[in-house]
Amino acid sequence: MMENRNDGENKAHKRRIHYSGRYPRHFAEKYKELNPERYQDEVAHVRAKGNTPAGTHVPIMVKEILEVLAIRPEEQGFDATLGYGGHTLAMLQELKGTGHLYSGDIDPIESRKTEARIRSLGYDDDRWSLRQMNFCDIDKLVAETGPFDFILADLGVSSMQIDNPERGFTYRADGPLDLRLNPEAGISAADRLAQMGRDELIGMLRENADEPYAEEIARQIIRDEKRGLAIRTTQQLHGEIEQALKNIKLPRLEDGRPVARREIIRKSSARVFQALRIDVNHEYEVLYAFMAKLPDALRAGGRAAILTFHSGEDRIVKKAFKAFHQQGIYREIADGVIRPSREECYANSRARSTKLRWAVKA
């Protein structure tokens, strides 16, 4: 007679999601990448190809940032945009178990995950504090903590947000057209798009992303919305851009060959999503407020470093640093931008558009 199996053995085995082909294509299928602690070999293989494992983020220009901030033990600092926590961990290591580092992030979903990872490494409240906050509210934090010796703001969207189709940050996977950094506040990109008329949409695409086909794209979207089409998903919006650009006259390369239409559509889609994300999250208004409050958040001799990822952000940072330098508030600012090395760009393609600027308070 066979012995009865225990309760654990009676539990039904839950199979992992099956995917076709050699490699998983969809976010939920990439269970190895999504568990970097358990599948380190798989993660290393993905990174060796110059890709970022799904659900993770590779911090950009860590070496250059640490050189600019020149962190010393016993100092107090602020990482204004926590993300996956790579920059925060690097700065904590520079403090060598002394001083205190504060990190802020507006995204409640990813900040909770990152907090758990950092706490698991032994960083308790005595050395590190997390605040769910928009970094434009830095003055409120300073009222509690006092000014900082060093401040970092990485203005890029984290890879975890881009990769997850439920967040709607890219057209490469179908998902809700959301684009909010904090999905618990404000309105989605789909709702915002439905609010805009043709002229406002054209202005938004030009101002936020320098989109050369703003008129054609806006005309297509508004026409279809008037016909009753509700643009609610990322793929629907991408489809509108494809339709808008299917008959445009193709520009030509220096050798006379026309630019591939699919390449024009790809770049315009990226710019449209960027423009909508900036609008939905009020990113320019937030950055203006942060740059205005930054000098008062620094102690005398305090250092600030800002990572930007497109020309609109960089212009705001450059002008603010220059204006405060001319007023004598900053004693020194970067003469130009610092760019990631060729090796870093090869290892992490998402670093290619990055610019680093810095300032030192008088």
Q: DSSP letters along 132-149, please?
A: E--GGGHHHHHHHH--EE
pLDDT at 122 over 80: yes
- Check residues 135 and 25 and name the one with the higher pLDDT: 135
Task: Residue 62: count other Cβ atoms within 10 Å of its Cβ.
Answer: 15
Q: What is the pLDDT of residue 7?
A: 47
Q: What is the pLDDT of residue 66?
A: 97
- Range(s) for CATH 3.40.50.150 in the chain? 62-160+284-361
pLDDT at 28 over 70: no
pLDDT at 351 over 80: yes
Q: What is the pLDDT of residue 82?
A: 93
Mean pLDDT score, 219-229? 95
Q: Are strands 128-132 and 100-105 parallel, antiparallel or unpaired?
A: parallel
Q: How far is Cα 271 from Cα 261, in angstroms, rounded to an integer?
A: 15
- Calculate the alpha carbon distances from 110 to 28, 29, 92, 152, 182 in Å: 16, 19, 19, 18, 10
Architecture of domain 183-280: Orthogonal Bundle (1.10)
Selection from 119, 281, 82 nearest residue 192 by Cα: 281
Q: What is the pLDDT of residue 158?
A: 79
- Check residues 58 and 85 and name the one with the higher pLDDT: 85
Q: How far is Cα 127 from Cα 222, in angstroms, rounded to an integer?
A: 52
Bridge partners (DSSP) listed for residue 153:
306
The answer to whether the beta carbons of residues 133 and 79 sit under 8 Å apart is no
Mean pLDDT score, 281-304? 97
Selection from 142, 174, 157 nearest residue 295 by Cα: 142
Q: What is the pLDDT of residue 349?
A: 80
Mean pLDDT score, 306-317? 94
Q: What is the pLDDT of residue 162?
A: 81
Q: Write down the pTM of the prediction.
A: 0.83
Mean pLDDT of the chain: 88
Question: Which homologous superfamily is 62-160+284-361 in?
Answer: Vaccinia Virus protein VP39 (3.40.50.150)
Mean pLDDT score, 337-351? 88
Binned at pLDDT 50, 70 and 90, residue 1 comes out as very low
- Range(s) for CATH 1.10.150 in the chain? 183-280
Tokens representing 109 are: 């979903």
Q: CB under 8 Å, gap of 24 or more: what pairs does 332-338 form?
A: 332/359, 332/360, 333/357, 333/358, 333/359, 333/360, 334/358, 334/359, 338/61, 338/64, 338/68
Can you tell me which residue has the tokens 């992992």? Answer: 16
Binned at pLDDT 50, 70 and 90, residue 48 comes out as low
pLDDT at 30 over 80: no
The edge-to-edge listing of strands for the beta sheet with 330-333 is: 128-132, 100-105, 76-79, 148-154, 298-308, 355-361, 330-333
What percent of the residues of the chain are helix, what percent strand, and what percent coil, each to the nearest 5?
45, 15, 40
Selection from 140, 149, 154 nearest residue 99 by Cα: 149
Q: What is the pLDDT of residue 32?
A: 52
Q: How far is Cα 112 from Cα 101, in angstroms, rounded to an integer?
A: 17
Q: What is the pLDDT of residue 9?
A: 45
Q: How far is Cα 281 from Cα 204, in angstroms, rounded to an integer?
A: 13
Q: What is the pLDDT of residue 248?
A: 92
